[in-house]
């Protein structure tokens, strides 16, 4: 990423291009900016550098957050977390598209060199995230795979299961959901958390599950002591439009 500052002074146009992201953050960062001296002849304003360094520090701080680690259990939840992690680092494209990095031609332009370096670096970072994001046992199974796409697809095939298996898992979870009934000793929060735990597993398997079904389930299966609250809801709210959060708050 580059930070450009254009300063117009008649009759000259001064353009200063600072390649900030080619410098290690430990050398050029927000915290070290005060070591630089500025005078009226500087083409790059202090404000521009401050903003650039703030962005660099923010990205550096996030990159220091460890990726979620997959140990062979709960693949669907891990895949969602890792996908979000890679997107935050602008690396998901390297996995999703699996683009080919073409060799540079003779006498390449600056644009071609920049594009080549960015694509190669993005692929390397994405691969590193996947290696770090699995347990030591799983790493030995993927370490010989060449591309990030191969690694991702291998893990998906091995641990997500085929469509038939996932379909059976959804049916079992739906049956479990339908059999739930609130106990007298449970609170609304405990009961709703239990239902949401089942529903989120269904959603992770790729099946849509609307909140209105959870609302209906709660209103039908809560103990009689909630009848007065439910009656008030029915008389004062449009239950076809009410949110789950409002139902839980009312009960």
Tens of pLDDT, residues 181-237: 988 888 889 999 999 999 988 888 878 888 889 988 988 888 888 888 888 888 888
Q: In the chain, what percentage of residues exceed pLDDT 70?
A: 72
pLDDT at 176: 92
CA distances to 15, 19, 228 from 8, rounded to whole Å, are: 8, 20, 72
Range in 59-73, 144-158, 235-249 the model is least confident about:
59-73
Find all residues with CB under 8 Å of 243, minimum gap 6, and list them.
Answer: 211
pLDDT at 195: 92
CA distances to 26, 144, 183, 188 from 250, rounded to whole Å, are: 53, 55, 19, 10
Whether residue 45 has pLDDT greater than 80: no
pLDDT at 235: 80
Q: Token pair for residue 154?
A: 């291998």
Q: Which of 115, 99, 3 is nearest to 51 (CA)?
A: 3
Burial class (CB in 10 A: 0-12, 13-18, 19+), 187: exposed
Q: Is 99 helix (H, G, I), strand (E, B) or coil?
A: coil
Q: Which of 149, 134, 132, 147 is nearest to 96 (CA)?
A: 149
């Amino acid at each position: 990423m580059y930070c450009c500052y254009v300063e117009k002074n008649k009759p000259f146009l001064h353009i200063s291009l600072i390649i900030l992201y080619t410098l290690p953050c430990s050398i050029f960062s927000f915290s070290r900016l005060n070591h630089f001296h500025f005078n009226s002849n500087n083409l790059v304003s202090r404000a521009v550098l401050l903003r650039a360094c703030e962005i660099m520090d923010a990205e550096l701080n996030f990159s220091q957050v460890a990726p979620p680690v997959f140990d062979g259990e709960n693949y669907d939840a891990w895949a969602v977390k890792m996908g979000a992690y890679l997107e935050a680092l602008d690396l998901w494209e390297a996995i999703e598209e699996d683009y080919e990095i073409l060799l540079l031609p003779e006498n390449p332009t600056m644009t071609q060199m920049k594009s080549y370096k960015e694509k190669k670096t993005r692929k390397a970072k994405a691969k590193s995230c996947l290696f770090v994001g699995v347990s030591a046992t799983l790493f030995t199974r993927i370490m010989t795979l060449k591309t990030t796409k191969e690694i991702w697809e291998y893990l998906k095939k091995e641990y997500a299961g085929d469509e038939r298996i996932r379909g059976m898992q959804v049916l079992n979870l739906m049956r479990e959901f339908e059999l739930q009934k609130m106990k007298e000793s449970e609170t609304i929060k405990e009961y709703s958390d239990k239902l949401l735990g089942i529903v989120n597993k269904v959603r992770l398997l790729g099946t849509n599950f609307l909140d209105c079904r959870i609302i209906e389930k709660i209103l039908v299966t809560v103990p009689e002591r909630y009848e007065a609250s439910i009656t008030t809801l029915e008389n004062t709210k449009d239950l076809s439009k009410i949110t789950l959060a409002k139902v839980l708050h009312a009960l």
